[in-house]
Amino acid sequence: MFDGQFRTQVDATVKPIGRGLARAGVTPDVITCIGLVMSLAAAIAIGAGAFSLGVLLVALTGIPDLLDGAVAKASGRSSVRGAFFDSVADRVTDAMLFAALAFNFASTGEPAWVVLLPVAGYATASWVSYVRAKADALGFDAHVGLVERAERIILLVVGLLFGGAVLVGVLIAIVALNILTAAQRFAAVWSQATDATPTLSARRDERRRRRTPRTESSAATRRAQRAERRRRQAESRRS
Residue 231 has pLDDT above 80, yes or no: no
Q: Where are the alpha helices (DSSP H) in 76-163?
A: 80-107, 112-138, 149-162
> Is 90 known to be catalytic?
yes
Query: Mean pLDDT in the chain?
Result: 83
- Angle, CA 99 vertex, CA 152 and CA 184 arms, to 5°: 35
Instruction: Give CA–CA dist 53/43, Å, rounded.
Output: 10
Q: Does residue 92 lie in a domain region?
A: yes
Q: Which domain holds residue 86?
A: 2-196
- Based on the number of CB atoms within 10 Å of its own CB, is 154 exposed (0-12), middle (13-18) or buried (19 or more)? middle
239: pLDDT strictly greater than 50: no
Residue 214 lies in a domain: no
Helices 80-107 and 28-47: angle between axes, nearest 10 degrees: 10
What letter would DSSP give residue 59? H
Q: At what angle do helices 149-162 and 2-23 cross, to 10 degrees?
A: 90
Is residue 223, in this structure, part of any structural domain at all? no
Using one digit for the tens of pLDDT, what is the confidence trace for 85-106? 888 999 999 999 999 999 999 9
Is residue 64 situated within a structural domain? yes
Q: Of 3, 90, 94, 136, which is the active-site residue?
A: 90
In a domain? residue 43: yes
In a domain, residue 165? The reply is yes
| Cα–Cα distance measured from residue 193 to residue 8, given in angstroms and rounded to the nearest whole number | 30
15-70 pLDDT, tens digit per residue, is: 777 677 777 777 888 888 999 999 999 999 999 999 999 999 998 888 877 777 77
- Biggest CA pair distance of the chain: 104
pTM, full prediction: 0.75
Residue 39 lies in a domain: yes
CATH number for the domain harbouring residue 141 = 1.20.120.1760
- Higher-pLDDT residue of 86, 235: 86
In-domain check, residue 234? no
> How many domains are contained in the chain?
1
Measured distance CA(124)–CA(175) in Å, rounded: 6
**Cβ pair 44, 93 in contact under 8 A:** no
- The reported pLDDT for the residue numbered 5 is 54
Q: How far apart are CA 234 and CA 239, in angstroms?
A: 9
DSSP state of 143: -
